[in-house]
Structure 1
């Protein structure tokens, strides 16, 4: 393989263990998973990705892809790992209300360009996540109840498949592959570019309302009642934050439990809709106001610095008082919870309806809420506590999962299958058999080809 590597170095950026820059090239946002691939390819364009995939196939090696490294997945030992951060092409077309991004573009860059054009996108909570990786996993963001998942509005993709070919894929040209790519992340190839719709979002009423932790019970119980009547234009979540006393945390929030409400409302009457939460008591911070789309990151205020994060999640069909009390018992005041956050997101609206152009993003109709818990650090005790929270919510769970909220502990085949209906998972495996029979793209939440049973 050494001779082949020498040849490859003449075409692309190649790093192997021991090379200067190897560790830096593998830097991730989530430090809980360490990558140690056999070969790293720093891709600058589609041709580099093709060369990497063909090299991997020739040497019977799996292919992994690293964008920003927010989602912790399977360690990449022994793989050919492609980093995409150098692929930064970005175009916003005001006339057609579309954007085209390459694989290394992050949401912060697209948000800025779209805002300049008087448009908005279906970004996620964090501006540092890669646009394409987020969208391939579904894409659940602040405007989801109004417009649905980001994947629902993709027009086309340029993807390098397991045979090393670069394909331009649309719902018309290759409907099966188009359907499978959207909702399966990197299982069917390396998407090097994507075009999708933008929306006439210039301003919205939203931001974060931080209440004292002592009001967590009142706020959570109000939230579960309040969501029953809110229009699709309102996307909201509530989060119990147990914030450390560190400099990047705003001083009033440091070292205490707080109740963080997040709102993004498209349309009139936003202030009236939010008022019941203001009436609960004096907020620590009230940053809910009319905001330009370019300030959308203020809704969630996600951290931007790398850290080791351990996460778990589930989907709920309902949020009765008993479920809220369970969350309060395990993550609320007096619980001594080690969690940094325990979040409930309201789904429904367009998130619960089929998209106009079908894709593989699953589990829409039955899930009314997503619950997400996270801790900083690692170890079996933290992981066990998180799992105990998820297990305690089982009576109200759909039993299914959302792919972008699946993590390093969720890679066994039975758990991966929970991201889809049984019929959809069988269909994905058949498509995998046709497009990647050797399962080259398996360093992920893997969908194995149908013939591997």
Structure 2
């Protein structure tokens, strides 16, 4: 430990050290890493030193930015590298790109790029780490319009299992570049990435909230509507059990409600108004739709900022019908014993197309992404897990069999990794794992084990 601390600018902490618990803490508190050592990396050289030390000692390595996904992969032992100190954004407005360091959050990127009239392909929660989100795919607010965030990565700086810092692009290290964009931290610790930015300053967006008594009508109308909208329209629908707490407005406090979230990239706000008219005609109890600066787009989902404990699960679905809607309402509606957030995110559009530079993201044929989240302060694991299992079993007839890596945070997340990829791509990933991490040092994650590797780039 001492020889590692001498080579690292940031802290190196063992369980007995002051600051250890704060360093390993993340946004998700359901489960946390408890490593033998946690290294607070302040620069790429710190990451290199930590990876080399772990390799020499035969220890596994995990990496944590904001800790949103740690409930899926939290483990005992090994070396945990935290990247929050590596926070920087370099903007090239003329090229329409940005370089983003490993520990940077999306809200920091958004603030910097908005000054140039540009926007990244960030998600619904601006405080999520930009790099980890992107490496897992990155389902953005405007992904139906532009594709996955990983589709717009130009280059990556990565420390591989041999301790080397590499810069990889389509022209330099194309196999590793392909694997990292979708394979997350299985092939190394990314210390920075160069991404495309979109010419977006405003969007038409907000939320329509309906009483649960209209749930069947809202879901039915939404599914018919989603089948007709252009790729400029990005949306989701969620059935939400709201807690009975003062922070929730009185009309919705302690109730089930249906939320339709809208993010329309059409330049003319009038186009967005016309597109949402069939949904508005149902009569929402709350309507926040309007022109919105992209820097304020986090208000659409209004995701929690404070750390919390939750169990979640995900599945990719095909086209849905009234029977599927009824299954959701029966198992997650007002009479369900466990309170949930059950959300359907509309896919398709540019998400269904391969990008100009291919990557490892699979399941592009799915029409919807299902995500179910249950807060542990409102129910415990013994209640939540069977309830989630019942929901996924009921929706199995509409499932494509795939899952989305960034939303795999439930009980079986680490055993379901294969389902995030197409079969041929998964075989390629295991082969590349055998080349770049044959000892599977990077295994405190959604792990892809080494297979029979191809020739190195």
Q: TM-score range by the shorter chain?
A: over 0.9
The size of the alignment, in residue pairs, is: 444
**Relative to 1, partners in 2 of residues 1:97 and 1:248: Cα closer, same or farther, differing over 3 Å?**
farther
Distance 1:26 1:319 in 2: 41
**How do 1:106-145 residues align onto structure 2 when only pairs under 5 Å count?**
106-145=105-144
Match of 2:191 in 1: 192
Q: Give CA deviations for 1:169-197 in whole Å, capped at 9, x if unaligned.
A: 10110110000000011100000000000
Q: CA deviation at 1:412?
A: 4.4
Looking at structure 2, the residues matched to 341 and 296 of structure 1 have their Cα atoms a distance apart, in angstroms, of 20
- When structure 1 is superposed on structure 2, of 195-204 and 70-79 the one drifting more is 70-79
Mapped pair 1:216 → 2:212: no
Q: Secondary structure at the match of 1:219?
A: helix
What does residue range 206-285 of structure 1 map to in structure 2 within 5 Å? Answer: 206-267=205-266, 268=268, 269-281=271-283, 283-285=284-286
Change (3 A) 1:16 1:173: same
The separation in 2 between residues aligned to 1:253 and 1:154, in whole angstroms, is: 41
Gaps of 5+ in 2: none
Task: Show the counterpart of 1:350.
Answer: 350
Range 88-97 or range 232-241, more displaced: 88-97
TM-score scaled to structure 2, two decimals? 0.95
CA displacement 1:171-227 (0-9 Å, x = unmatched): 110110000000011100000000000011011111111111211111101011001
Indicate conservation of the 8 Å contact 2:206/2:261, yes or no.
yes
In the TM superposition, residue 321 of structure 1 has moved relative to its aligned partner by: 1.4
Larger deviation, residues 138-147 vs 378-387: 378-387
Which residue is 1:298 aligned to?
299
- Per the alignment, residue 24 of structure 2 pairs with 26
Contact 2:73 2:414 in 1 (8 A): no
Q: CA RMSD in A?
A: 1.3
Alignment partner, residue 360 of structure 1: 360
Aligned partners of 1:244 and 1:254 also within 8 Å: yes
Per-residue Cα deviation, 1:208-253 (whole angstroms, up to 9, x for no partner): 1111121111110101100111000001100011111234434443
TM-score (norm 1): 0.96
Q: Is the 8 A contact 1:411 1:446 kept in 2?
A: no
Q: How does 1:85-96 map to 2 (within 5 A)?
A: 85-96=84-95
Partners of 2:107 and 2:272 in 1: CA distance: 25
SS in 2 for 1:374: strand
Distance, in Å, in 2 between the alignment partners of 1:340 and 1:401 is 19
Unpaired stretches in structure 1, ≥5 consecutive residues: none
> Are the counterparts in 1 of residues 218 and 282 from structure 2 also a CA contact under 8 Å?
yes
